[in-house]
Structure 1
Amino acid sequence: MHYCAGLVILLFGCIICHNIEGFDDSILYDISWVSKDNNKPEYANLEYMIVTSSQKEKYKCMLPHIQEKEPNVSNSYDGPTPLELISPLFTQTACSFRLESYWTYEVCHGRFVRQYHEDREGKKVKIQEYILGKWEKNQYSTLLEQQKNLEIDKVPVKKVDGVSLPYFEITMGNGTLCELNQNKPRETKVLYLCYAHGKHEIYSLKEISTCVYEIIVLSPLLCAHPKYKPQESGEHSIDCMPLDDSPTKPRELLKIKAESNKFRRKADMDRIRLEFHPIDLNRKEETTPSKTPLDVSPVESFLAGKTCLNGGTGWWSYEFCYGKSVEQYHLHKDGSKISIKLGYFDKSKHLQWLSLHPHKKPKPVGQRTQLSHFYSGGDVCDKTGKPRQTEVKLKCSQNAKTSAVSLYLLEPRYCEYILGVESPLICKILDLADENGLIENVAENDIANEDSTVTIIRV
C-alpha cells in the first residue's frame, strides 16, 4: 500500500509543522511497517523521527535521502512520431480480438473496428455485425503532417488500474448508422498505451456515449517514445518500527484497511444481494401498538412487480419489472434519461408464444430449473420495422453463499432479446408456476419459508 506524506500527518498528527510551507506533494513515499528485530545496518546513516499515533502508539521512522530529479531528456527527442511508431500495425494488417459472452469485437488496426455474432443453424452461418468505425485512407497522411508540425508538449493520460498512463489516440468514424443517435454513424476512439509486455491486445472496450466507443490497446511499439513511457512513481521508502509495546502497524490503520476491503467486496454494482436471516420460532411477537409490522415478503413484492431488478455495465443499464416490462436505459449526469422499451408482458401473447414454442413450457413440478416468459410490444426497431421483444429466463441458482440476483442481456437477433435472471429467489417460486409458467394469486404463506425471511439490499 502506498502513502504520501499527508497520510503520515493524518495518522500521527503534524510532526513537522514548522516546515509545512515547503512541503512538496509531488514526492511520494512508500511506508513499510517493520518489526523491532528488522534493524538494518544502513539505518545508522539515516535521520529519523519519533512519531506517536492517536492511540499513543510510538514508532521510529527512518527518513530516506532524497535526491533531486534528473532533467527530463525527452524534450530533446527527435525520433519517429507516435503515429509512425504504431504504423507497423497498419502495414501488417494486424487485428486484435476481444471475446465476450455474446459479441466478438475485432480491431483491425488502420482499417476498421467490428462487432459481430455468428449464429449457426446446421450448415448455415448467419452473421450479425456492426462496423463501429473505419480508418480512412487519407487519414494517416493528414494526421502525420499535423504531428510533424506540432510539438508534443503535454501528452494526455488515462487511468488504468489506478495508474495514470500516457496514450496516443486515433479516431475511426463512418461506422454503421445508429438508430439511437439520430442515424449518425458509429464512431470509435482507439487509445494506444505503452506496455512493454503487450501484444497489441484489447485491454478494455466500452460505450462512452450513444454509439461512441472507446477501446484501449496495449502495445510495446509506443514505448520507444520517452513521452509515452509510464511515468516513474518517484516513491521513497520510509521504514517505521514499533517502540515499547506498540503493535507492528497502528490499530487505526488496520481498521481503515479492513473498512476499505469491506467496501471493495460490496462494489459489484450489477447485483442485488439477498440476505437470508433465520427466524427465532420461540421469539414472541411484538405487541406494542406503536410499532409497525415488518414486510416479510419481498418475494411477493417482486411477483407483484413492485420490486424491479436493475443491472448492466457501461453505457446501457436495464430494468426488469416482473409481469410488467423490460427496459433499456441510460441516465445522463444532468438527470435526463434515454429509454428503450424492450417489451411488455401480455398474458394472451405469452400463451400464443408458448403454443408456437412448446419446448419453452416448464417441466413437471420437481424437475424445473427455470421458467421462460415472453415480453412483447416494445419500441419499434428501425432495423426490422417490428416492435422489440424479450424472452425472460428465470433460472434457479443454488449458490446460496452469494444469495445474489444476476442479470445478463443478449441480442441473438436484431431487436429480439434474452434477459437472464438467476437467483436463489427463483428457486422459491419454480414449483408455484402453472403449466404455462405463470405464477398467479399466490398467497404470502405459499412463498415464505417457515424458518427464514429474505431481505433485498441494493448495492
Structure 2
Amino acid sequence: MATATRRGRSPLSTERVTKVASFIILLFLFYLSLADEIIASTSGLTFGQSSRDPNYNVEFHSAKSPFHPDEGQDSTMMSNKEGKNFMCFLPIVEETKPVKQISQQNSSSIIVETDRKTKLKTPDELLDVLKDKCLYRHEGWWSYEFCHLKHLRQLHLEDDKAVQEFYLGMFDSEETTAFNQNHSEDSLLKDPRSKHASQRYHAHKYTNGTVCDLTNHPRETEVRFVCSETTVVISSIKEIWTCKYVVTVQYPLLCKHPMFRQEKAMSHTIHCNEMLGDNNLRLSVVEDESYVRVL
C-alpha cells in the first residue's frame, strides 16, 4: 500500500481533499495518454470552471529532473493505462473566505485602511480625464459619438458628413446623482447581462434624447464605465429595450479604485514526478478527511 504523505501537517478538510483529488483524477484522464510528450517539456494546461475559480496547472517532470516538494506538501501516487506511475504533489492552498461573504461594509473598511495615507479618488474624479473628450465607435451603417458629460449620438456618415442622426441622450446630472444614491455603493453595481458577472461598473445617466417613433418618448442611455487594463474605448452598445440603451466604456484609470479591480483567479500547480519501478499499482481514492491513498 502506498499512502499520500502528510509530513506533520494538520488533517485536510473533506472538501479540500475531494476537490483537489477530483482535479487530479480529471487531469490524469485527460493527460496521461500524452504523458510522454508532456514530460519532455514539463508543461501542462490550465483547468478552471470560471474566471473566479482557482486555476490548476499540471506539470510533469521526468525521473532525471524531478520536482522537489516543499516541507509538508501532500502527495499521492497516480498511474496511467500503461502502468507508468507518477508521484503527484498537491499545491498548498490556504483556506480563504469567499468574496461574496465579505460584506460591503467590510470591503469599504478595507479600502479606508489601505488608503489611510492617501485620499482615495472617487469614480467621477478618476473620470475627469475624459472631460471635453469624445469617443467613437463604428458598427456597419451606424457610427456612435460619446462626448463625456455632454451627449451620446447615433449617426450615419457619408463623405465624413452626418446625413442622419439621433441623440440617444444628453447627460443628466440630477438623474445620475439620484440613480447612484439609490444604491448603497455605486461601485458595487454589476451587469446582469455580462458574461463576467463579477465586473463592477460606475454609471452615468443620459436622458432627453431624440423622441422615439415607436414609444413617443425620448431616447435614453445608461453609460457604464468599467475597469480595463486596455485603452479607453467604447466596448459595446446595446438596445436593451425599445429606444433604451446601455453603453459600456472601458477605462483603465478606474482600475485605480480598489472596488473596481476585476477579481482574478488564483493559480495553483500540481507537480507530477515520473516514477521508475513497480507498474502494478491500482488507484483508489478514499474520501477521508485526512488523506488520499493508492491501494
Q: Deviations over 1:294-350 (max 9, x none)?
A: xxxxxxxxxxxxxxxxxxxxxxxxxxxxxxxxxxxxxxxxxxxxxxxxxxxxxxxxx
TM-score, normalised relative to structure 1: 0.40
Q: Greater relative contact order: 1 or 2 (C-alpha under 8 angstroms, separation 6 or more)?
A: 2
Contact 1:103 1:116 in 2 (8 A): yes
Structure 1 pair 157–110 and aligned structure 2 pair: CA distance change class (3 A)? same
- Check the 8 A contact 1:202/1:215 in 2, yes or no: yes
Return the offset for 1:151.
4.6
Q: What is the aligned partner in structure 2 of residue 32 from structure 1?
A: 58
Which one of the candidate residues 251, 257, 260 is aligned to 1:219? 251
Deviations 1:74-95 (A, max 9, x none): 5343533323332442xx2211
Aligned match of 1:178? 212
The letter for the 2-side match of 1:29 is: N
Aligned residue in 2 for 1:168: 202
Q: Structure 2 length as normaliser, TM-score? A: 0.60
- The verdict on how the C-alpha distance between 1:65 and 1:178 changes in structure 2, with shifts beyond 3 A counting, is same
- 1:135 is displaced (CA, Å) by 1.0
Q: Map residues 39-438 of structure 1 onto 2, 5 A cutoff.
A: 39=65, 41-43=67-69, 45=71, 46-52=73-79, 59-69=86-96, 74-78=108-112, 79-89=120-130, 92-120=131-159, 125=161, 127-139=163-175, 142=178, 146=181, 150-151=184-185, 154-156=188-190, 164-180=198-214, 182-198=215-231, 200-241=232-273
Amino acid at match of 1:192: F
Q: Which has the larger radius of gyration?
A: 1
- Cα gap change, 1:44 to 1:234, in 2 (>3 Å): closer
Q: 1:37 to 1:108 in 2, by over 3 A?
A: farther
Cα drift, residue 156 of structure 1: 2.0
Contact 1:173 1:187 in 2 (8 A): yes
Distance 1:177 1:164, change over 3 A: same
Structure 1 residue 106 displacement after superposition: 1.1
The 2-side partners of 1:163 and 1:56 are apart by 44
State the Cα distance separating 1:118 from its structure 2 match.
1.8
Partner of 2:34: none
Unmatched 5+ stretches in structure 2: 1-18, 30-49, 113-119, 278-295
Distance 2:76 2:111 in 1: 43
**Hey, what's the Cα distance between the residues in 2 that align with 1:40 and 1:74?**
46
How far apart are the structure 2 equivalents of 1:133 and 1:201?
A: 19
Measured in 2, the distance between the counterparts of 1:38 and 1:187 equals 66
TM-aligned CA deviation for residue 96 of structure 1: 1.0
Name the SS for the 2:199 alignment partner. strand
CA pair 131-62 structure 1, distance change in 2 beyond 3 A = same
Q: What is the letter of the counterpart of residue 88 of structure 2?
A: C
Q: Secondary structure at the match of 2:141?
A: coil
- 1:264-318 per-position Cα deviation (integer Å, ceiling 9, x unaligned): xxxxxxxxxxxxxxxxxxxxxxxxxxxxxxxxxxxxxxxxxxxxxxxxxxxxxxx
Question: Helix, strand or coil for the counterpart of 2:69?
Answer: helix
Provide Cα deviations, 1:221-244, integer angstroms capped at 9, x if missing partner: 222221111113122222345557
The letter for the 2-side match of 1:104 is S
Note closer, same or farther for the CA distance 1:7–1:68 as it changes in structure 2 (3 Å cut). Answer: closer
Percent pairwise identity: 29
Q: 1:110 to 1:59 in 2, by over 3 A?
A: farther
Q: Distance in 2 between matches of 1:56 and 1:231?
A: 41
SS at match of 1:179: coil
| Distance of aligned partners of 1:171 and 1:126 in 2 relative to their CA distance in 1, 3 Å threshold | closer
RMSD: 3.9
Shift of 1:158: 6.7
CA distance in 2 between partners of 1:169 and 1:38 (Å): 57
Which amino acid in the other structure matches residue 261 of structure 2? K
d(CA) in 2 for partners of 1:29 and 1:220? Answer: 25
Cα distance in 1 for partners of 2:165, 2:201 equals 28
Cα distance change on mapping 1:165 and 1:239 into 2, 3 Å:
farther
Tell me if the contact between 1:30 and 1:235 (Cα under 8 Å) persists in the aligned partners: yes
Considering fraction of residues, name the structure with more strand. 1
Instruction: Look up the equivalent residue of 1:156 and give its one-letter code.
Output: K
Compute the displacement of 1:34 (Å): 2.5
Which ranges in structure 1 are unaligned for 5 or more consecutive residues?
14-24, 246-459
Q: Is the 8 A contact 2:152 2:167 kept in 1?
A: yes
Instruction: Tell me the secondary structure at the aligned position of residue 109 of structure 2.
Output: helix
Bigger drift between 32-41 and 60-69 goes to 32-41
* Contact preservation (8 Å) 2:152, 2:170: yes
Output the amino acid matched with 1:63. L
CA contact (8 A) 2:176 2:205 kept: no
